[in-house]
Structure 1
Amino acid sequence: MRALVLGCSLKSSDNESSSELLGREVLTALADHDVEGEMLRAVDLGIKFGVSTDEGDGDGWPSVREKILAAEILVIATPIWMGQPSSVTKMVLERLDAELSETDELGRPSMYGKVAAVAVVGNEDGAHHVIAEVLQALNDVGFTIPAGAGTYWVGEAMGSVDYKDAGPKPETTGATTKTLAANVAHVARLLADSPYPAS
């Protein structure tokens, strides 16, 4: 089993990212279920805006798409900005919109049989809204959403402490991340053994 975590921080890899940290914690938890994976920081990859599988002329999305196609699990790790997923997350979701018209050899949408989850960090309310928005979009393009497919940490309202700087991490976030990993790996294996029927 393979997982891809797309870190949707607004920051490049030259900067620490709380959403990437939580995404890496998801990868660590998935490893306990024999899932290998990697993390990519979307802003580093030259992904162009658009709604096709390839926007041409140096677009970084086709190589990301190949990694998504090769994985059974996709995790979106996003910060909250103004109560919303990051603009980078929205760009990634817009690029995935192209999968609505992509099918496999049996006529099934290209993302059928793949499982999705989301990891969210922020210093304001909105984690449930962000999880709902991202998971609904992923489900629309064919991903299966297991129970408990979201994990999050939200700091004090109007606070300034990031997850990466928060000191000891709350047991609730850690436990939720472990549950996410267990459920995502379980459903991914079920779908690998018994794929969706042809459309």
Structure 2
Amino acid sequence: MRAVVINCTLKASPEPSNTGALAGEVVKALEERGVTVDTVRAADLNLPPGVRTDMGPGDDWPRVHEMLLDAEILVVASPTWAGHPSSFAQRVIERMDAMISETDGDGRPVAYDRVAGVVCTGNEDGAHHVISEITGALGDFGYTIPAQAWTYWNKGPGPGDDYLDTDEGHGWAAKTGRAMAANLVTVAEALAAHPLQAPPE
């Protein structure tokens, strides 16, 4: 089983990413369950705006799209900015929109039988809003969202330490991340054994 983690931090590599650090807890839990995990950082890629899988020369999204099709699990990791997903998370969602009209050989949306979850970090309130926005879009595309398929770390409203600056709340976020990984794998295995049917005509 394979998973793709898309880190939607605003920071390009090699700058440390708080969101990537928490996502790493989920990666570790997935790998402990035998899942092969590939991680990409959206800020390192050239992702032109648009809602097509391939926007032309220089577009890095087709490579990510192929990774998504090769994986049963997707994790979108985003910081909270002004109570919303990051601009990179929104760009990823916009580029994934093309998957709605892409079908497999049985006429099913290509995202069928794949599961998805969300990792969120931030110093301000809004984690549940970020999670709901991202999972809502992924569900539209055809992904199955298992129960409790998320984890987050939130310092609370206003300024404060970043995830990497404090140990506060790490235990809960990591434990929730392990539950997230377990639920993603369990539902992915269930879908492999009992695939979704093509939508009715």
Normalised to the residue count of structure 2, the TM-score between the two structures is 0.96
1:91-130 aligned at under 5 Å gives the runs 91-130=91-130
> CA–CA distance in 2 between the matches of 1:135 and 1:98?
16
What SS is found at the alignment partner of 2:46?
coil
Give the Cα separation in 2 of the matches to 1:192 and 1:47.
31
Q: Residues 75-118 of structure 1: CA distance to partner in whole angstroms, max 9, x if unpaired?
A: 00000000000000000000010011100000000101110000
Q: In the TM superposition, what is the alpha-carbon distance from 1:167 to its structure 2 partner? A: 2.7
1:103-135 Cα distance to aligned partner (Å, 9 max, x none): 000000010111000000000000001000100
Q: Which aligned pairs between 1:162-173 and structure 2 lie closer than 5 A?
A: 162-167=162-167, 169-173=169-173
1:131 aligns with 2:131: yes
Contact map agreement 2:120 2:152 (CA 8 A) in 1: yes
2:9–2:43: 8 Å Cα contact kept in structure 1? yes
Q: Shift of residue 32 of structure 1?
A: 2.1
Aligned to 1:140: 140
1:151 corresponds in structure 2 to 151
1:87 corresponds in structure 2 to: 87
Q: CA RMSD in A?
A: 1.0
CA distance in 1, matches of 2:170, 2:23: 16
Task: Kindly state the Cα deviation for residue 160 of structure 1 after the two structures are TM-superposed.
Answer: 2.7
Q: CA deviation at 1:171?
A: 2.1
**How much does 1:48 deviate?**
1.2
Give the Cα–Cα distance (whole angstroms) in 2 for the partners of residues 167 and 198 of structure 1: 46
Checking the alignment, whether the CA contact within 8 Å between 2:22 and 2:174 is kept in structure 1 is no
1:180 aligns with 2:187: no
Local SS of the residue matching 1:4: strand
Corresponding letter in the other structure for 1:157: P
Q: Which runs of 5+ in 2 are unaligned?
A: none
SS in structure 1 opposite 2:118? strand
Question: Runs in 1 of length 4+ with deviation above 6 angstroms?
Answer: none
Q: Is the 8 A contact 2:26 2:174 kept in 1?
A: no
How many residues are paired up?
A: 199
Q: CA deviation at 1:198?
A: 2.6
In the alignment, what sits opposite 2:18? 18
> Aligned with 1:5: secondary structure?
strand
Deviations 1:12-51 (A, max 9, x none): 0121111111111111011122111021101111111110
